Amino acid sequence: MQRVLRIPTLRNSAALRLMSTSAHPQPSTGRFTGKPDPTTGKFNVSFIEGDGIGPEISQAVKDIFKAADVPIQWEFCDVSPIFVNGLTTIPDKAVQSISKNLVALKGPLATPIGKGHRSLNLTLRKTFGLFANVRPAKSVAGFKTTYSDVDLVLIRENTEGEYSGIEHVVTPGVVQSIKLITRDASERVIRYAFEYARAIGRPRVIVVHKSTIQRLSDGLFVNVAKELSAEYPDIKLELQLIDNKVLNVVTNPASYTDAVSVCPNLYGDILSDLNSGLSAGSLGLTPSANIGNKISIFEAVHGSAPDIAGKNMANPTALLLSSVMMLNHMGLNAHADQIQDAVLSTIASSPENRTGDLGGSATTSSFTEAVINKL
């Protein structure tokens, strides 16, 4: 029997404390500290609508939030890349907006090709110190896929590893790319994984690595986890090689329903998409959160799909569920539950209410209308 998807996130509410296996306090790292505007009573949220299908799915979120009367005031945020001293950066106005609001929702971004720009997603993570990427993946009731019992949580280190961008030509025809692993970054994300597991009531933290080959880099990541585990006697630490993890999660995803997995950047990038394929068969249902010490950005992880942009075909579910994670993060739990239930019940209702990527016939606008009708 398929279970209804619930997006795990660190809440500020009593509901989360009831979910937890103990009365431990919630982690201070990554908690939302913003306050509503005293003149409007609404929270200001920076909105990076993105490229390609981004504006269409962003409009769907805006329409549904308006219908649900969510106390959010959107602040449009342009992150078109610019060069400063030869480095890719984003406009000061965008930096100021996100730094002020402490939270942002982001549609898909396309990095300009062949113009020397670094990935915009990486630029955002570096700019705001978003050290942890949280990717839940869970089966959706009423939407049949290969597996019906997927309930996975993966936390990916977001700032270094193979994605540090440290590359050079050794000699013509030979290039070298450096995998950067630091104690500080490893401790930050692994500690967050332990506290996240504690907060959502999961008794295991699994560190995914390949220290048998990358003895120094992955070895450091593993050693930091072992050291930190002494501070969390209620959470069991397990170590799994990346290749074993891939095999195990494909053959028996149910064995991870009580665990939080954490890993370096590249492994997390691959595993998170694998988890999404197992749970929903599509990135169109996958939410994501990028957590920093003070600032967090919630995003759809699929691409900008320029081939269907402007055709009213895009699936806004990933961005909607990311906005649900954002609302829970902000403590607006009742609104989060209302929107999540409406989205998932719409998907479960019939193929006519699913977009083409899910084998249905709905358009972006008709799906949005169906969700609003179920609020």
Looking at residue 149, its pLDDT comes to 84
Helices 242-251 + 265-279 axis angle, to 10: 10
Looking at residue 116, its pLDDT comes to 55
Looking at residue 43, its pLDDT comes to 98
Structure tokens at 93: 């106005």
User: Residue 90 CB: number of other CB atoms within 10 A?
Assistant: 21
Looking at residue 89, its pLDDT comes to 86
pLDDT in tens, 127-136: 999 999 999 9
Q: Which residues of the chain fall short of a pLDDT of 50?
A: 1-9, 11-26
Where b means 16+ CB within 10 Å and e means fewer, 98-123 reads beebbbbbbbbbebeeeeebeebbbb
Looking at residue 28, its pLDDT comes to 54
How far apart are the C-alpha atoms of 174 and 167, rounded to whole Å? 11
DSSP per residue, 338-349:
HHHHHHHHHHHH
pTM value is 0.88
pLDDT in tens, 178-199: 999 999 999 999 999 999 999 9
Q: Where are the alpha helices (DSSP H) in the chain?
A: 14-19, 54-67, 92-101, 120-128, 183-199, 217-229, 242-251, 265-279, 317-329, 333-349, 364-373
